[in-house]
Amino acid sequence: MVFTKGTGVNHTAWAAGGEDYEAVLPADSVEENTLYWVTASGVPVVLLPQGKQFYAISATCPHAGGPLDEGTLTGDVVECPWMVPASVCTTSVCAMGRWR
């Protein structure tokens, strides 16, 4: 399963972003607590605006490769739509299974 289907591997291990600031969407066109899929330096990213802050995580679930922009947002936790139990990502950390 691991070698033929990529099950259980980190789907984001080789994604590398740039060092420079890059505008990816107009700040005045976003809604708070809404997930936005964008690319920054060619890397797919999910943005989460909360208040005056913008948080970013990989757009791809590191475990299953699912699209995190289609996940369920609860507070600052994004649940991968492909995982049971869910792979959860917060504004600062991604963890497999349940958030601790």
List the domain boundaries for the chain: 2-8+32-95
Which three-class secondary structure state does DSSP give residue 90?
A: coil
Q: What is the pLDDT of residues 12-30, one digit of tens each?
A: 666 666 778 788 888 888 9
pLDDT at residue number 63: 75
Nearest to 62 by CA among 41, 39, 46, 38: 46
Q: What is the pLDDT of residues 64-98, one digit of tens each?
A: 788 989 988 887 788 888 876 555 555 555 544 33
CA distance 91 to 67: 16
pLDDT at residue number 7: 59
Which three-class secondary structure state does DSSP give residue 52?
A: coil
pTM above 0.95, yes or no: no
CATH of 2-8+32-95, one of 2.102.10.10, 1.10.150.120, 3.30.479.30, 1.10.3720.10: 2.102.10.10
Q: What is the pLDDT of residues 32-70, one digit of tens each?
A: 989 999 998 888 888 888 888 888 888 888 777 889 899
CA distance 50 to 36: 12
pLDDT at residue number 31: 92
47, 10, 94, 71: CA torsion to nearest 10: 50
pLDDT at residue number 37: 94
Q: What residue has token string 């991968």?
A: 80
Phi, psi of 68 (to 5 degrees): -65, -20
